[in-house]
Homo-oligomer: A and B are copies of this chain.
């Protein structure tokens, strides 16, 4: 049976979804990923992980459903690169609010944004709260690809933890999913290594965030090192991403911010 919500008739939605249903919204991007990866990289990864995770989750008994992928999102950091299709933060917030209101018309209460584009992460967190406040939904956002940012271990290139865009991880996964779309001859490392000398400012996991556009690091549109990327590593990364996504869905299925009542025997 399908787990793509949009394949159901509307009448079936009313009877199929329950207050336990989890709706998974893949969130991608269509944006410049250097000379070697397709514009659709983030949308491809988000949708692929979602489809696999929803499938496995459903098999495992989770009441989980996949919604259409939001392919065109907030890629403002790549706005300078022709081919990037992007909407502003304001527009994406409007889309998410409208989507939340649509979902609130069903019986489902839990929504997960499975996000393939780092540039959406913060805004999705803002939206999570907004949708909870406005519509009473329980909202979650999770990364679609669960790959490191390049530490140099295990034969991977050392990206100094900055392999965040079109680097080893993303490139390998796309080589696994759609090898026909990868241009290996154009792999070229572009890591702003001098940033490693800062102890507080950095991309992720640093206390101080900074506002950057991808051409702040040069004209290539890459932040990372695709050299050495390969489909085998990509397959492993993809599988790990799906596994973790399924585990996330399982946690979400039993998640409640308020502790269960004592008689349930928790805490």
**Which residues of A come within 8 Å of B, CB atoms?**
4-14, 17, 30-40, 43, 67-72, 74, 76-91, 93-95, 98-99, 102-103, 105-107, 112, 119, 121-133, 137-143, 146, 181, 183, 186, 192-201, 207-213, 216-218, 221, 244, 247-248, 251-252, 255, 257-260, 266-267
Contacts and interface: CB of A to CB of B under 8 A. Distances in A.
- Give the number of copies in the complex: 6
A171 B195 CA distance: 35
Given A7-B40, A91-B94, 17 more contacts: A6-B38, A6-B85, A9-B32, A9-B183, A13-B82, A80-B105, A82-B107, A83-B106, A89-B126, A90-B94, A121-B122, A128-B210, A129-B213, A140-B210, A141-B208, A146-B207, A197-B266
A35 B9 contact: yes
A266 B248 CA distance: 42
Given A94-B91, A259-B192, A84 B68 contact: no
B71 A6 contact: yes
B37 A9 contact: yes
Contact of A138 (B38, B210, B247, B258): B210
